[in-house]
Amino acid sequence: MSHQRSVPAADFQFEPEFMAVLKHVTEEFIPFNKVLGLKLESANATVATATLEMKPELVGHATYQRIHGGVISAALDAMAGIAVMSAISAKHMDEPPMKRAERFAKLGTIDLRVDYMRPGIGERFSVRAEVLRLGSRVATTRMEFLSEQGEVLAAGMAAYITS
């Protein structure tokens, strides 16, 4: 008897057409993500990563040139949403990429918690989000906001409505 996984393995890769859609959603379609300057780096069935460059509009502490905590929170939330979109898509690989993308319309944040651990000082940051559980109505995620050296500056957990 064969056993079928509900979500493909983490080494699973999406087709280029879907990755182009996901990149467009991350970087262009959501106006606030564009303000943040998020750049999608990778996405698979469970994890999404992005980078963002420091710019004057993102400063939260002028004296120390620290990135604003709201920017960190928004970046974590955005990338967790992209990770959930990826996980949803991975479960429906029998559908064409654009049909899978239509499933994202009902996605919304239910709960978001962020722990700030170190000051966000630097020129470039990365964001990593992982889907811990994808249920029929709710997805749970864990996220990290990292310095250019890979040091965890903030970590978060979030839940998303998926239907």
Pick 11 or 69 by higher pLDDT.
Answer: 69
Q: What is the pLDDT of residues 40-65, one digit of tens each?
A: 999 999 999 999 999 988 888 778 78
Q: What does the block give as tokens for 105?
A: 């319309």
Confidence of residue 2 (pLDDT cuts 50, 70, 90): very low
